[in-house]
Homo-oligomer: A and B are copies of this chain.
């Protein structure tokens, strides 16, 4: 059973991602280390003792749809109630609306633990938090007054409605339409698919944020507006009133996260006689600027999904490690006890477990560093704030894609460590393998993340921001080199080599983009993102080892450098030299 690794998380936040320095310099106001520790400890307790025990029943029962109403797994409604009563929903939300206004670093650390407890449970509140951000930043005061407090407290939940059958990654193709009624409200018509927590029994009301087109809106992404559509239209006193014309038509039968209802939502097509047709909604932000509003949610949502990758990897590692210490098979040179050796003594099992552990640590460090950048950007001004916002923007696609990719890899290795037992559902390793698979897909596929990194993030700061970041990683490599700590082995050298690869690959892609050879750059985007992440991850592991001084972190850093970092050279070669053969061979793929 999962136990929240509170100590490791706190260490990574403070000494790798920069929380300690931010606390010491007062960059985060009057937040104290004691408070940080107390919050992490309590969030960890909730994840370990309250959420994790209900993960299995969620997987087995799943969410069930009947007569347009979704019943959640047994005990989940009560779990959600305890979670909101603990104030967890508003952890990073504005104090003005009842939130705790704490840094995002704490938010993502807590989110990691809750997702390790159950991805299917934790993904729901993630969307509410996104809705709070979008409404707070873009909605009218009246909408804020009506909805924000209830969403911050968790009394109501929020959703994001982007995808339509013909429009997945390409939002320009959206067709859902919104017609103004003249009284300031709109009527929404259309179908949205893959709506996470679109319908459930956790709360009295559900607040949908919906992308739709106004009449005569321009084609493409510049003609999309954002609307707030509540399931029940609030009365004057704020209580849920008339049922709105938005209904859940079906829920998906999915590979994993069974407890999370994935809904097809129908707007404006199912209502009682005598009513005006259409779902009642209100504009959020300006007309035709819906995508900008949605991107507010999406950047943070992407980091949140990255945390799911870290979370499922941590859960898979813990489960495999426990099994490997218990299960006995054969003899091992490192085992002098009686009988068969616990399989953790076999080098091949050790390789799997260390790969799982260090990939998880690397992804965690990158994700927390991304949250740190957002926090500093929010808590600073002018050029400093802009610099850190660039940093957050640079790291977001990496945190999302790398963490969720390694989530799948680590969960798969976790099944493998269990041998035959891993394939049996009762063991629980298989459920993590199933759950993990959604995270590289939703909130922008990892291919989209890689394209975002190359096309939108490498040009930041006139193309120089990324090199400033690489220079910071280089300082870590230098610090390893001068540390003279023998436990690092060849870490400094290998990290320098990886940084050279990253530098060369970055220059190559920037020059491809400058030459207008976009396809050649896109062909290398995914290998580039992984190259970036492995290098940054190794540097962060080294920073932790340097800060810590203990043998354990040093040994894990060295394992990562000497066993996993070597892939960077091959990735660099793919980025620089792989595009032409890809384009040539791709001709074999096109039908007709």
Q: Which residues of A contact B (CB under 8 A)?
A: 163, 166-170, 172-173, 193-194, 252-256, 321, 324-325, 328-330, 333-334, 340, 342, 344-354, 357-358, 408, 412, 415-416, 419-420, 422-426, 430, 433-434, 437-438, 440-442, 445-447, 450-451, 487, 489-490, 518-519, 522-523, 525-526, 552, 555-556, 558-559, 561-563, 566-567, 569-571, 573-574, 577-592
Contacts and interface: CB of A to CB of B under 8 A. Distances in A.
A163 B518 CA distance: 54
Nearest to A442: B420
Given A254-B423, A420-B163, A559-B584, A522 B347 contact: yes
A354 B587 contact: no
A431 B355 CA distance: 26
User: Chain A interface secondary structure, helix, strand, loop or mixed?
Assistant: helix
B425 A254 contact: yes
Contacts of A591: 321, 325, 344
Contacts of A442: 420
Given A354-B582, A415-B437, A588 B346 contact: no
A585 B555 contact: yes
A563 B582 contact: yes
A490 B577 contact: yes
Contact of A567 (B256, B344, B567): B567
B574 A559 contact: no
Contact of A348 (B193, B321, B522, B589): B522
A347 B430 contact: no
Q: How many copies does the complex hold?
A: 2
Contacts of A168: 329, 419-420
Given A346-B522, A348-B525, A577 B562 contact: yes
Contact of A518 (B325, B333, B589): B333
A452 to B, nearest CB: 11
A263 to B, nearest CB: 13
A316 B558 CA distance: 37
Instruction: For the complex of A and B, list the 4 residue pairs with the smallest distance between their C-beta atoms, beginning with the closest.
Output: A566-B570, A348-B447, A559-B585, A255-B430
Contacts of A254: 423-425, 430
Interface centre among A334, A345, A433, A590 (most CB of B within 10 A): A590
Nearest to A349: B447
Interface centre among A357, A441, A586 (most CB of B within 10 A): A586
Nearest to A341: B170
A355 to B, nearest CB: 10
A333 to B, nearest CB: 5
Contacts of A592: 325
A54 to B, nearest CB: 19
A312 B325 CA distance: 32
A442 B351 CA distance: 20
20 contacts: A172-B330, A173-B329, A252-B424, A255-B423, A333-B518, A333-B519, A344-B589, A346-B522, A348-B526, A350-B583, A354-B589, A357-B588, A357-B589, A420-B441, A422-B437, A423-B441, A555-B581, A559-B584, A562-B581, A563-B574
